[in-house]
Amino acid sequence: MKTLSALKASKAIIFECVSGSRAYGLATATSDTDVRGVFILPKEQYYSMDYVGQINNETNDIVYYELKKFMELLAKNNPNIMEMLNVPEDCVRYKHPLFDKLKSEFFLSQLCKDTFANYAFTQIKKARGLNKKIMNPVEKERKSVLDFCYVRVEKDSFPLTTFLKDRAWNAKDLGLARITHMKDCFNLFHYSDHGYQGVARDGANDVCLSSIPKGEKPVALLYFNKDGYSSYCKKYKEYWTWVAKRNEERYKNNVANEKNYDAKNMMHTFRLLHMAKEIGLEGKIHVRRPDRNFLLKIKNAEFEYDDLVARAEGLKDALESIYENSGLKTAPNREEVNALLASLRSEFYKN
């Protein structure tokens, strides 16, 4: 049982719910429907070498966790997993009686201060990442090794492309030879009857060397900014991978609002921080958000980025004193969690 279709056909699922924006009460017309669930592997598979901890679709919109992995994440107070014990009733699609034994208060602890807040600040980093990509787009036409080569002639230096254009030379008619003790620097030779390899082959990520006839004199010194080229290649790949995978409607909305950050990421930052605060003050997880209007204003980019970051920092700092006086246990009792896990699995197999 390793696929969603096989899981659905089995009787292994003990819980299934709608999660994400629809559970939070933050869904809009374009929101996806996220589904989360818990299953218990058949006994023969659990005891074999074929343990499966998670089954999901390609986009992770649908994810089911095996009971062991689910409880491991609960014991760590993972925000997404803790929410599953507290989703509104109208989001629950199926619940086996055994699942009722997994009580939220059994797992809630001071770990939530860090897990919820740290997850919140990863959303800020994502928002910053979008800001960086919007403000620094990378041209679709990819630069080559030649664009990172520079030539020194006497006291002046020029981009190799300029050097070639001024002389009406072709890069394929050039030859390079290393210069001892000078990293990424080469003697540059122009065409001879001997024939050279050129500066770089098509699609190559480095310059290429030629066999230089004895007595041949270089026409210039060439420097290849190899580190700069490597950095560019990484940036190019990251940018165009992001373009291919980004949600176009969400991206256009962010650009149209002229805030240049991912408003949805920032909304989730505050959702998580507010949830952390509520856990510390009330000992409860409110999945359906009472602060819906405020969060949707963030999603609509009605605030300035720097103001939101400052506000988030203030909320995170306030969590310290809130949790010191919360009365929450330091962490879930691992022995008790283990005992509950064993009990649930045994009862499921028995019945």
How do residues 180-220 score in pLDDT, each as one tens digit?
999 999 999 997 666 899 999 988 899 999 999 888 999 99
For the chain, the 3-state helix, strand and coil shares in percent, each to the nearest 5, are 50, 15, 35
Class of domain 1-103+330-351: alpha beta
β-sheet bridge partners, residue 224 = 149
Give the whole-angstrom CA distance, residue 285 versus residue 123.
20
Provide the pLDDT for residue 243: 78
Residue with tokens 């002639």: 153
Strand ranges, E, within the chain: 13-19, 34-39, 54-56, 62-66, 92-95, 149-153, 156-159, 175-178, 185-189, 220-224
Asked if residues 71 and 337 have their Cβ atoms less than 8 Å apart, the reply is yes
pLDDT tens column, 212-242: 988 899 999 999 999 999 999 998 998 888 7
Nearest to 195 by CA among 215, 211, 217, 216: 211
Continuous H helices in 37-103: 43-46, 67-75, 79-84
- What is the three-class DSSP state of 259? coil
Give the whole-angstrom CA distance, residue 268 versus residue 124.
9
Give the whole-angstrom CA distance, residue 199 versus residue 160.
10
pTM check: above 0.85: no
Provide the pLDDT for residue 226: 96
Q: Give the Cβ contact number of residue 95 at 10 Å.
A: 15
Would you give the distance in Å from CA 328 to the centre of its chain? 31
Spell out, as residue ranges, where the chain has pLDDT lower than 70: 125-136, 192-194, 246-260
Provide the pLDDT for residue 256: 45
> Which part of the chain is CATH 3.30.460?
1-103+330-351
Nearest to 99 by CA among 348, 339, 333: 348
Provide the pLDDT for residue 132: 56
Provide the pLDDT for residue 336: 95
Q: For 54, phi and psi rounded to 5 degrees?
A: -155, 140
Nearest to 13 by CA among 26, 22, 1, 24: 1
